[in-house]
Amino acid sequence: MRIQAKYILPILVPLVVLLLPASAFPFETLTVMQQRAIALFLLAALCWVLEPMPIYATSVVVIVLELLFLSDKGIIWFRADANTPEFGNLLHYTDIMSTFASPIIMLFLGGFFLAMAATKYRLDVNLARVLLKPFGQKPTMVMAGLMLITAVFSMFMSNTATTAMMLAILTPILAVFKPNDPGKIAFALSIPVAANIGGIGTPIGTPPNAIALKYLTGENMITFGEWMAFAVPFVVVMLLLAWVLLSVMFRSDEASISLDIKGKFLKTSKAYTVYATFTITVLLWLMGSSHGMNSYTVALIPVAVFSMTGIINKEDLKKISWDVLWLVSGGFALGLALDKTGLAQLLVHSIPFENYAPEIVLIGAAALCLLMANFMSHTATANLLMPIMAALGVSMTSLSPMGGETTLILVVTFAASLGMSLPISTPPNALAHATGHVTSNQMAKVGVIIGVVGVALSFVMVWILRLVNFL
């Protein structure tokens, strides 16, 4: 029955929504376009949760359905009454297609090129080898070093790729422990926890950050450097709390462990090009717009340099996480439909949020996001919630003293990345669980504590930023 529901519900529910009369919905007015947008939203939500198809395929389907049924160049029979008020406004087909080439997509593409070049020329492993030396041989200190390096790499690389790399480095360390040593659990959990937390540190660290930037425009715009200015301290505090938690819950029986990571920095011309380009790109990102370029423009510099020099060739291009780019672009397209049809605003205005204290709204939004992120893709969660939260932030005047739209989006974004209670919550968790050293119950205990504490800390962080007039 569960297998059937996986395939039937994503088709049946949107069809029922489309066939219902407008009077069946709890809105004073509902246009045909808004009704179609509701059906599309439910289709995306059910497909992202139940996964009858790969989640990136859902994004592609969303974009194609928008072009067919919501755009001004869609099927002519489905836009015959486009000039009537009851029909609503059609979306321009170029706006839908441009989600494939959004500046945010270019930002991620630049990040992928940097990560691939760093791995190909062993910059990541060699940095790990050098950076772990100062941490000695005490288990808790070695774990602190591993978490710190994992978090830093996750700021600029895929969380999944970082976890896979660091777990490979961790394998000989785990072999030192006795079979029933709780330290094994701590070390195995430390990598995914640090990767999930570290991804919050930069706009390219994880897709929910990039999705948030899509809605932080105009007066609410946040540069790469500004994001890091408030996100990195949050990451540092969360890493410290996670390290203490793991050290206390799973204390190792070993007094010391040996660490042996073999390798050396390559000294070829291409390797030096990778080192220089990586450094220059990160510095340009940190400098914000002081040089006249935004982070999206800077992101294409490594793409050009690595392509021109052959550092990244056509075979390497096949290894880029194109599924992530498709997934994010589909989320943008869904947000576009909710926004341009007026459905997001209609949903927000239909709920009396003004009757609730702004603190309750913020806590409720963060709790909902955290809950969803534990059971489905963090990116899919952000894709579904962000358009609605953006509309809510604009419409709810009582949120203005607390930062309005910016505060709401940031709190929800951080909550999306803190969902790490289950092996299915995020790929790094799944990789750690696959090692066989961590049970789902152990992961859940740590994940719930970090998630709840992290959301609470994000509220404190936002309050401090408002206090110093940063937001």
| Residue found by looking up tokens 């002519």 in the block | 76
Statement to judge: residues 87 and 160 lie in one domain = no
Q: Round to whole Å and give the CA distance between 278 and 311.
A: 13
In terms of Cα–Cα distance, which of 132, 135, 158, 146 is closest to 191?
146
Range of the domain at 26: 2-101+322-467
| Same-domain check for residues 273 and 312 | yes
396 phi/psi in degrees, rounded to 5: -90, 100
Which position has the token pair 């007094």? Answer: 255
pLDDT tens digits for 294-320?
A: 778 888 999 999 999 999 999 999 888
- 97 shares its domain with 12: yes
Measured distance CA(193)–CA(151) in Å, rounded: 9
Query: Residue 301: what pLDDT?
Result: 93
DSSP character at residue 321: -
CA end-to-end span of the chain: 49
Average pLDDT, the chain: 83
CB–CB of 74/28 below 8 Å?
Answer: no
Query: What's the pLDDT at 313?
Result: 92
- Over residues 318-342, the pLDDT tens digits come to 888 788 788 778 888 888 888 888 8
- Clarify whether residues 344 and 431 are in a common domain: yes
Helices (H), 86-182: 93-97, 103-120, 123-132, 139-156, 159-174
Residues 197, 239 contacting (CB under 8 angstroms) = yes
DSSP element (H, E) containing 442: helix 440-467
Q: Please choose, from the candidates 49, 331, 379, 70, the residue with its C-alpha nearest in 3D space to the C-alpha of residue 206.
A: 379
Return d(Cα 137, Cα 141) in angstroms, integer: 7
Spans in the chain with pLDDT lower than 70: 1-5, 168, 172, 258-263, 288-289, 348, 351, 353-354, 395-404, 424, 468-471
| 135 in the same domain as 78 | no
Are residues 304 and 357 part of one domain?
Answer: no
Could you give the angle at the alpha carbon of 315 between the alpha carbons of 309 and 320, nearest 5°?
95
CA gap 413, 336 in Å, rounded:
18
> Could you tell me if 69 and 42 lie in one domain?
yes
Tally of domains in the chain: 2
Which of these, 41, 6, 50, 11, lies nearest to 424 by C-alpha position?
50
Instruction: Answer with the one of 317, 347, 381 that is the final residue of a domain.
Output: 317
C-alpha 274 chain-centroid distance: 26
Q: Are residues 63 and 128 in the same domain?
A: no
Residues 216 and 365 in one domain: no
* Residue 355 and residue 365 in one domain: yes
CA distance 133 to 136: 6
* DSSP one-letter code for 71: B
pLDDT in tens, 137-159: 788 888 998 899 899 988 987 78
97 and 115 together in one domain:
no
Domain end: 281, 299, 317, which one? 317
**Total-model pTM:** 0.74
Residue that terminates a domain, selected from 317, 347, 370: 317
Residues 189 and 211 in one domain: yes
